[in-house]
Amino acid sequence: MKPGTPVPTEPLNQPFRPIDQPRAHEYVAEQIRRQIALGLLAPGSALPTERELAGLFGVGRATIQQAIRLLESERLLETRRGRHGGSSVTHKSTDRLAMDYLLARLRRESSRITAAVELREILEPRIAARAAENGDPTIVVEARTAARSGGGADSDAEFMGSDTEFHLIVARATGNELFVDAIERIRLTLNDVLLALPDSDLWHERSVAEHEQIVDAWEAGDPIAAEAAMANHIAETASSIRALMVSLEDR
């Protein structure tokens, strides 16, 4: 700037706008919505009481009630009033129309789903290796418990919740919050396509056994074996997802 040039007192262009901070009940609703989307709250499962939720989130009961009403309007929750009432996750429809809507959504998200599968194949084996390198015995026990809980699942939704929790535990064991965030994003992207895959007891049993192999390598402090076990675990799912997405392109 040349000497004597007047200094502008206001910016010539103001591209920034004030941030619209979400209200407290919207934040609470988003956290619950995320747990439902990840399958950690399965259809039919009961939420903690309003008092317990208020304590967990550090807000008043009125805020919790607003959040629940919002999620009810989205048909994610249903609430029974009275002494033995409470809120629970709604059961998703499994009729033909619902499946058609699901498949249409998968077609629209095809490129994003493909990208999530590729990212998972690259990232998750390395995350398993890093978890094994850290070798926290407390988290190893937590992972073993999550792996075995999938074997006792009574439904596909319950199994998916256990499966998601297992993979998040492995990510948390790295101590890197960005790994956890990445796994959450991958699961949110893939949850619908995972629901569309054929479900069977054999699939569940194999997945649980593969989880156990990952934990065995982790417990042995063998990052190479943990990486290989995770790569093997996700390869079959990746192949099934790709096959489904190709079949949708042909419809």
pLDDT at site 43: 84
Tokens encoding 112: 């994003």
Question: 96-249 adopts what CATH topology?
Answer: Four Helix Bundle (Hemerythrin (Met), subunit A) (1.20.120)
**Average pLDDT over the chain, rounded to whole?**
83
Residues near 90 by beta carbon (within 8 Å), at least 6 away in sequence = 43, 75, 76, 77, 78
Tokens encoding 171: 């990510």
Task: Determine which helix (DSSP H) or strand (DSSP E) holds 76, and give its type and residue range.
Answer: none
pLDDT at site 22: 58
CB 213 within 8 A of CB 205: no
CB 143 within 8 A of CB 173: yes
Q: Would you say residue 114 has pLDDT above 60?
A: yes
Per-residue confidence band for 227, with pLDDT thresholds at 50, 70 and 90: very high
pLDDT at site 44: 86
pLDDT tens figures, 16-43: 444 444 588 888 887 788 778 767 787 8
DSSP string, 46-94: BPPPHHHHHHHHT--HHHHHHHHHHHHHTTSEEEE-STT-EEEEPPPP-
Question: 24-89 adopts what CATH topology?
Answer: Arc Repressor Mutant, subunit A (1.10.10)
Check residues 170 and 25 and name the one with the higher pLDDT: 170
Domain boundaries, the chain: 24-89, 96-249
DSSP 92: P
pLDDT at site 245: 87
Check residues 247 and 162 and name the one with the higher pLDDT: 162
Task: Determine which helix (DSSP H) or strand (DSSP E) holds 84, and give its type and residue range.
Answer: none
Mean pLDDT of 227-234: 96
pLDDT tens figures, 54-110: 888 888 899 999 999 999 988 889 988 777 778 999 876 555 666 677 778 888 999
CB 24 within 8 A of CB 68: no
pLDDT tens figures, 177-209: 999 999 999 999 998 888 777 667 777 888 899
pLDDT at site 34: 75
Check residues 194 and 8 and name the one with the higher pLDDT: 194
In the chain, what percentage of residues exceed pLDDT 90?
Answer: 39
pLDDT at site 29: 86
pLDDT at site 141: 92
Q: pTM, whole model, 2 decimals?
A: 0.70
C-alpha–C-alpha distance, residues 194 and 203, integer Å: 12
For residue 27, the number of C-alpha atoms closer than 13 Å in the C-beta half-sphere is: 12
